[in-house]
Homo-oligomer: A and B are copies of this chain.
Amino acid sequence: MRILAGDIGGTHARLIYVDDNSDCPVRHSGSYACAGYPGLMPVIESFLSHYAIDKSFDAVCLAVAGPVFAGEAVITNLPWEISADRLAAQLGTRNMFLINDLVAVAWAVQGLQPDRIVLLQAGLDQPATPRRAAVVGVGTGLGAAELVWSEGHYTAFSSEAGHAGFAPATVEQEQLLAWLHQRHDRVSVEMLLSGNGIHKLYRFFRDVLGVTESSRVAVQIAQADDPAALISRRALAADDELCTRALACFVEILGAAVGDIALHYFPLNAVYLAGGVVAGIAPLLQDHRFLHALTRKGPMRTHLQKLSVTLIMSGTAGLDGAVAYARRRCVR
């Protein structure tokens, strides 16, 4: 099969081309900064011409960071309008699939390699193959999808859970919400559980709770392309109190939010975490505070302690899932 697949986020568009028809399978991939392009088709044209790839694919599957309605998608934070029908015509394929990016990650779950995951909670009395699972991604934003085993196969359903309200679980988080409400009409959980969210938490501990900022880190942040990654690295190194406090709070909010998402798909057997922001702080998620916050749900605690909780370290889960989805839909 000749498959073109993509993982289209608010910041980067990643594309992959797979041809396993011949004796010598072909696999090309590329990553593009969305801001440099007026729409998705120019990105695809650039990728195809770079590798001299012919159109007329057996299947095209594009996973986008936003809701998909009847073959149309708008990406949050980008002016691109994506239409499955238009792309199908432009790319010469009858099998054009436009899916949500976390749905794509859900489709990658079955093919995860053991060396690309970190088991955060082993689980108890759960089947090796989950009947129902929640998939949560943290990157530019917070996304979630539901994976369900039904009628002999998996189906994945999308969500916009990242836009749900932020539910403070501690007095410190109450102060955080009050501070955010002074600046924003409403506070979604994604405003905190994202790269930007880590930077917000840093400012909260500095400006509201009065934790001293190191002048060296202040300069590094001012010069950084990705302040969240820099703050995360300092927290992992445990050499800066402000960064450490910000990430400790991030981990607690993430745990509570992942637990709340799991409750919406309950009973379930497994939770999968994906995305660059969480893959970058794996050691902090192995701290007991993450699972404590995730399972601290009153009478549901003992049930949540039995789930398996898996951190996906692979950066290509969305792409892999888009390819898996295309294969699956063409085979049936």
Contacts and interface: CB of A to CB of B under 8 A. Distances in A.
A277 B264 CA distance: 21
Contact of A186 (B144, B165, B263, B298): B298
Interface stretch (A33-41, A49-57, A168-176, A225-233): A168-176
A180 to B, nearest CB: 11
B177 A265 contact: no
A150 interface: yes
Contacts of A186: 169, 296-298
Contacts of A178: 171, 174
A192 B85 CA distance: 46
Contacts of A266: 67, 158-161
A297 B265 CA distance: 21
A151 interface: yes
Contact of A263 (B69, B161, B263): B161
Contacts of A256: 165
Contact of A264 (B150, B264, B298): B264
Contacts of A263: 159-161, 163-164
A303 B264 contact: no
A296 B132 CA distance: 30
A167 interface: yes
A278 interface: no
A146 to B, nearest CB: 8
Interface of A: 67-69, 76, 132, 144, 146, 148, 150-151, 155, 157-161, 163-169, 171, 174, 177-178, 181, 186, 188-189, 256, 260-261, 263-267, 296-300, 303
15 contacts: A67-B303, A69-B303, A158-B266, A159-B264, A159-B265, A160-B266, A163-B263, A163-B300, A164-B263, A164-B264, A165-B168, A165-B169, A171-B178, A188-B297, A261-B264
- In the A-B complex, the 5 residue pairs with the smallest Cβ-Cβ separation, listed nearest first, are A165-B167, A164-B260, A167-B167, A264-B264, A160-B266
